[in-house]
Amino acid sequence: MMVFLLHKESNDIMIRILTAGESHGPMLTAIIEGVPAGLHITTSDINYDLRRRQKGFGSGGRMRIEKDQIQITSGIVENKTTGGPISLLLENRDYKNWQDREIAPLTTPRPGHADLTGAVKYRYPDLRYSLERASARETAMRVAAGAICKKLLREFSISVGGYVVQLGGVKVKMPPFSLQQCLEVAEKNAVRCPNEEQVEEIEEHIKKAMKAQDTLGGVVEVFAINVPVGLGTYVQYDRRLDAQIAAALMSIPAIKGVEFGSAFDNAKKRGSEVHDEIVLHNDEERVVRKTNRAGGVEGGISNGEPIIVRIAMKPISTVVRGFQSVNLATGKSELTTYERSDFCALPRVVPIAEAMLSIVLANALQQKIGGDSIAEMKPRFENLLSANVKDLHLRNEKWKFNY
Ligand SMILES: Cc1cc2nc3c(=O)[nH]c(=O)nc-3n(C[C@H](O)[C@H](O)[C@H](O)COP(=O)(O)O)c2cc1C
Ligand SMILES: C=C(O[C@@H]1CC(C(=O)O)=C[C@@H](OP(=O)(O)O)[C@H]1O)C(=O)O
């Protein structure tokens, strides 16, 4: 029984996700490996977040075509995970509109897209191949996989959320709410703004850009609460929790900046104004922080404070007026052409960012405590939580650092 309760870091247990599919192909696929057995999952759990990913003011015509509904094809039997790989399918309803159509090749690369880089790298005969796979359509599968990871985290009372904190040049005046309350307010409006008083202003801002046939980006904040101390590690660069979170968030198409806590503001200040002082909690059994400017990670390890990360999205690259480019078939200078596009996808990035954060945290938790089933993980997690600074038994005598 003692062995059962011991938790050790295990690198071979891993939650891994692979997705496949083209934006206008018949369907998208995901395989999720490493989810422990016994986790309750229904299609509604996944569809809930898929619906959230489709909702957002500023979307283009495509979101009126797709009605994302997941199909579970393995790894979940009678609404419980088996521990085997989970496979998911999602139909692209737009496929039938492209099927059997004669499609002119795309030969003039659009700046801000993978058109040119992908075609040069893979030697494509048509730039469309790049956009088909680089498209953010694929993030639907990340959200589906993320919904499973979220459910796993929730078994351990860890919750993840997000909202918009800046849209284009409009900064949200953050209300004096908890992170969870901000999420709840934001979910009630189409721009995912945590301040009800600014919803109209933000919608107007998007409307103006749309009227000018232009596009917008902005900043999203994602958070995770009740994350235990000890996820991630500094022992190798790629195992640092902040590095893993940053990479996962940066992998979302059009995300070009990541900030932990108030990192960019901190950079302007003196150290004495920035670092989060350590104080005894009322019960004196554990230590907590007076502030959380670090955003919940120190030395690549979660420190028990909420993980708070902001991500910057560039304005959507496809603009109606077009950009100067070169037609690679004729060698002539040409304006890019416009087919269809989102004007602002920022509100829809919130569930995608939540999914990416959940995937990283679920994997880090699995690495920390291990376990093939929820039943096995639960006591290990309790053991992790009950550990506190008093258990450290730090020595209080002089010593020599000898090898
Ligand atoms: C939810 C979401 C929707 C997007 N919709 C569009 C779109 O309609 N038009 C567009 O040009 N880019 C859109 N993008 C961004 C492109 O996918 C992205 O800029 C492009 O693939 C190049 O990748 P990069 O910006 O990461 O370099 C969207 C991104 C996200 C996250
Ligand atoms: C399909 C989705 O997003 C798409 C992402 C995208 C891009 O270039 O990334 C371009 C648009 O697609 P289309 O070219 O078909 O209009 C978006 O609608 C989705 O989010 O499900």
Residue 73, marked binder: no
Residues 6+ apart with CB under 8 A from 126: 105, 106, 107, 119
Angle, in degrees to the nearest 10, between helices 43-54 and 346-369:
140
Q: How confident is the model at residue 394 (pLDDT cuts 50, 70, 90)?
A: confident
Q: Are strands 278-280 and 324-327 parallel, antiparallel or unpaired?
A: unpaired
Q: What is the pLDDT of residue 13?
A: 62
- Residue 268 falls inside a structural domain: yes
Residue 395 among known ligand-binding residues:
no
If you measure from the C-alpha of residue 72 to the centroid of ligand 1, how many angstroms do you get, rounded to a whole number? 27
- Residue whose pair of structure tokens reads 């198409």 in the numeric block: 253
From 342, 343, 346, 348, the mutation candidate for ligand 2 (largest count of ligand atoms within 8 A of CB) is 342
In-domain check, residue 244: yes
- When pLDDT is cut at 50, 70 and 90, the band that residue 400 belongs to is confident
Ligand 2 binding pocket includes 255 (Cβ within 6 Å): no
The verdict on residue 255 lying in a domain is yes
Tell me, yes or no, whether 42 lies in a domain: yes
| Among candidate residues 355, 230, 357, the one with its CA nearest the CA of residue 305 | 230
Task: Report d(CA 295, CA 265) in Å as an integer.
Answer: 12
Is the pLDDT reported for residue 156 higher than 80?
yes
Check pocket membership of 46 for ligand 2, CB cut-off 6 A: no
Residues linked to residue 5 through DSSP beta bridges, in sequence order = none
Residue 212 Cα to ligand 1 middle (Å): 19
pLDDT band at 1 (very low <50, low <70, confident <90, very high): very low
Q: Complex ipTM, two decimals?
A: 0.99
Number of separate domains in the chain: 1
Please state, for a pLDDT cut of 70, what percent of the chain lies above it.
96
What is the span of the domain harbouring residue 71? 2-392
Ligand 1, CB within 6 Å, residue ranges: 60, 112-114, 134-136, 139, 252-254, 316-318, 341-342, 345, 348-349, 352
Atom of ligand 1 nearest to the CA of 342: 8
- The rounded distance, in Å, linking the Cα atoms of 68 and 47 is 7
Beta-carbon contacts of 237 under 8 Å, excluding residues fewer than 6 positions away, are: 243
Mean pLDDT (the chain, rounded): 94
pLDDT of 10 strictly over 60 = no
Judge whether 316 is annotated as a binding position: yes
Q: For residue 399, is it within any domain?
A: no
**Would you say the CB of residue 137 lies under 6 angstroms from ligand 2?**
yes
H-type alpha helices, 34-187? 43-54, 62-65, 95-98, 115-122, 128-134, 139-154, 179-187
- The ligand 2 atom at the shortest distance from the C-alpha of residue 140 is 21
Number of the ligand 2 atom closest to the C-alpha atom of 134: 9
Say which residues have a Cβ less than 8 Å from residue 47's Cβ, sequence separation at least 6. 68, 69, 70
Whether 397 is in a domain gets the answer no
333 a known binding residue?
no
Q: Tell me which residue has its CA closest to atom 12 in ligand 1.
A: 316
Determine the 3-state secondary structure of 289 from DSSP.
strand
H helix or E strand, kind and range, residue 260: strand 255-260
Q: Give residue for tokens 């994302």.
A: 68
Residue 12 pLDDT level (bands cut at 50, 70, 90):
low
297 to 145, 252, 278, 399: CA distances (angstroms): 24, 21, 14, 29
pLDDT tens-place string over residues 259-298: 999 999 999 999 999 999 999 887 777 788 999 999 999 9
Which ligand 1 atom sits closest to the C-alpha of 340?
8
Query: Under a CB-based contact definition with an 8 Å cutoff, are residues 328 and 109 in contact?
Result: yes
pLDDT at 122: 97
The counts of H helices and E strands in the chain are: 13, 17
Ligand 2 nearest-atom number relative to CA 53? 20
Residue 403: inside a domain: no
Residue 360 structure tokens: 């990283």
Q: Which atom of ligand 1 is nearest to the CA of 114?
A: 22
Tens-place pLDDT, residues 310-355 = 999 999 999 999 999 999 999 999 999 998 999 999 999 999 999 9
What pLDDT does 387 receive?
77
Question: Does residue 256 belong to any structural domain of this protein?
Answer: yes
The tens digit of pLDDT for each residue in 115-124 reads: 999 999 999 9
Nearest CA to ligand 2 atom 8: 135
- The verdict on whether residue 26 carries a ligand-binding annotation is no
CA distances (Å), origin 101, targets 61, 104, 107, 130, 287 = 19, 9, 18, 19, 64
> 178-212 in b/e burial notation, b at 16+ Cβ within 10 A?
ebeebbebbbebebbbbbeebbeebbebbeebbee
318 assigned ligand-binding residue: yes
The CATH number given to whatever domain includes residue 387 is 3.60.150.10
321 is in an annotated binding site: no
pLDDT reported for residue 84: 97
Residues 307, 246 contacting (CB under 8 angstroms): no
| Confidence grade of residue 4 (pLDDT, cut at 50, 70, 90) | very low
Whether 166 shows a pLDDT value over 80: the answer reads yes
